[in-house]
Amino acid sequence: MFPAAKAPAGHHHKDTDPTGERLAILTLTALGVVYGDIGTSPLYSVKEIFGHLYGLQPTRDNVFGVLSLIVWALTLVISVKYVSFVLRADNRGEGGQFALLALIFPRGTPQTVAKGRLIVALALFGTALLYGDGIITPAMSVLGAMEGLEFAIPSLAAYIVPFTVVILATLFFVQRFGTDLVGKAFGPITLIWFITIAVLGAVEIAQQPSILAAVNPWYAVQFVRANGTLSFFVLGSVVLVITGGEALYADMGHFGRKPIRFAWIFLVFPSLLLNYFGQGALLLENPAAAENPFFLLAPPWFLIPLLVIATLAAIVASQAMISGAFSTTRQGIALGFIPRLEIRHTSTVEEGQIYIPEVNWFIAVGCLIIVMSFRNTSALGAAYGIAVTGTMLITSLLFYIVARIRFRWKAWQALALVSLFVTVDICFFSANVVKIMHGGWVPMALGLVLFLLMLTWKRGRLLLNQRLAEGTMPLGLFLDGVEKSKVLRVPGTAGFMTGSDDGVPPVLLHHLKHNKVLHERVLLVSVKTADVPETRAAERVRVMPLGHGFWRVVASYGFMQTPNVPSVLEVVDRMGIRCKPMETSYFLGRERLIPVASKTGDKIALSRWRKIVFAIMARNARSATEFFCIPPNRVVELGTQIEF
């Protein structure tokens, strides 16, 4: 019914179809990064549904109804929507909101029309909510595990928050060692976790096998009919069972589609179902267990070992959104929505495994503030749900556009499928919106701030480029002037970095104005971002002779790659243009931005306060020297003031 997605022609992400030992390794590693979040949802989901917030009693009908809602939430949202369909929408192996945006708007496609601006705004807000999710997820997961102290070691219950803070601080500290190392360490822990929760659930199901009938969706329908408005509010906690589903897509670039699907179908999904059914069976037998049905599944002798395993699994759960935030940030930098930040590669094998210090510590500080403010999972549940459901809803809307324009689905096919996704997403999102005053405002406020910052950076860069273009001299006129004025040419090669592949870079004009000389060989170097994750080295560099000892060099990198100008010059050198990277002088401009009132006729309007914000962001962005991996001792920076 639904045509298979056709990947764009060209380079494909590595490990597109791993098999054998490689598939096993990637699947195990993916467990430790992708599935930790959704895998620890049993810690708190059922407890919150039957908690004091709703006053829902664990009667037989309610238990069957809630379990049916849980089963079908996991089936429709995770198995059908994400695993079966959304994972198809990969941009050569990469997922996430920015990958969707790049699929919708390939390089050169206009984004300025009203419809285009709306789509960009949706993707940016979805990304902003993902960052909010990344801050809340570690707090929710580790707090959920630490609350087991109330049952395992009651005397330590007062130390739940301090223990949580120490664990989270340690987790963020080890991020510098990389996704690969963290995933390999966490993978076996997560495997043990899923086996443990499956066994605990299966043992309880054996005592009450009738609970398996809750797989029938009719029980969910009866629950909604019997409880009316209350059932709508209960959905706000049912959504906790699918938190982490958005990480499947955001983290796809780390491991690929196949290992993620393999792990879900053969381990994660069956283990979750067994545990949720086990908790339901326990509630049928002992309604008082609603206080914390997960930990009460365990026999008394296993409580402390279970607490240890749960704590380790909760630490793993935090990794999914942290890794997703790193991947999303690099895409945002390359696509021009986020200022340049330091990107460290933590694997010599996998291009997608990176560490971004600024993002790590931003999430760390936010997470610790959240823990100390909310202090328990019940208070944090409202904030958690709205970030997740908002991201999922936006993903569904963007997937419809991708299905139409990239997969070439017919309108009725895309509409029929996405309508189902959107209906479920809206139900969950609406159920969480009513909890905005109880903590849901936190991710919404954070998302709005990050959304405005990303949009301000993008539009500020466009406005700055417009100002620079206004003062650009045509290249032909410049070269004629160089020839006629007999400018002194000194030995060596100079590379002038420019964001445009047309006209004369302002830094070149400033150099000639102040130093009165030019090098024998002058390279005008532009680094472009392609709408694919990676570009082949053989196709990355284009060189165009301009005459008079000038060449234009255009390097094209994917949005998941880090530009490296010296490596570009090595390619140029092999083409016969002498420009050894450590013998070349690199000239860069350092602009001092002065916000002024907008000019009449400006194509890009930006209020004065946003210009000030942009100027601050530009001043604190990572320098072009570091970002482009240029040897610092070969760089000459020339300053200029620009009114924009």
pLDDT tens-digit readout, 189-241: 889 999 999 999 999 999 999 999 999 999 999 999 999 889 988 998 899 89
Which residue did the predictor score with more confidence, 409 or 22? Answer: 409
Nearest-angstrom CA–CA distance, 503 and 332: 27
Structure confidence at residue 348 as a pLDDT band (50, 70, 90): low
**Closest by alpha carbon to 311, among 145, 144, 138?**
145
Render 270-310 in DSSP notation, one character per residue: HHHHHHHHHHHHHHHH-GGGGGSHHHHTS-GGGHHHHHHHH
Q: Would you state the pLDDT for residue 466?
A: 80
Q: Would you state the pLDDT for residue 40?
A: 87
Rg (CA), the chain: 27
Query: Taking residues 353-359, what's their average pLDDT?
Result: 83
- Using CA atoms, how far residue 163 sits from 147, 160, 170, in Å, is 10, 5, 11
Task: For residue 408, report the phi and psi dihedrals to the nearest 5 degrees.
Answer: 60, 35
Tokens of 330: 């690099």
Tokens of 615: 């100027």
Q: Would you state the pLDDT for residue 14?
A: 47
Answer whether 561's CB lies under 8 Å from 529's CB: no
Query: Taking residues 415-438, what's their average pLDDT?
Result: 89
Query: Taking residues 508-525, what's their average pLDDT?
Result: 91
First to last CA, the chain: 52
Nearest-angstrom CA–CA distance, 462 and 467: 9
- CATH 1.20.1740.10 in the chain is located at 30-460
Nearest-angstrom CA–CA distance, 258 and 124: 27
**Domain 30-460 top-level CATH class:** mainly alpha
Res 636 pLDDT > 50: yes
Tokens of 8: 């764009």
Q: Are strands 550-557 and 541-547 parallel, antiparallel or unpaired?
A: antiparallel
Nearest-angstrom CA–CA distance, 63 and 53: 16
Render 399-431 in DSSP notation, one character per residue: HHHHHHHTS---HHHHHHHHHHHHHHHHHHHHH
pLDDT tens-digit readout, 81-136: 999 999 888 877 777 788 788 888 765 455 544 567 888 888 888 888 888 878 88
The chain-wide mean pLDDT, for the chain, equals 84
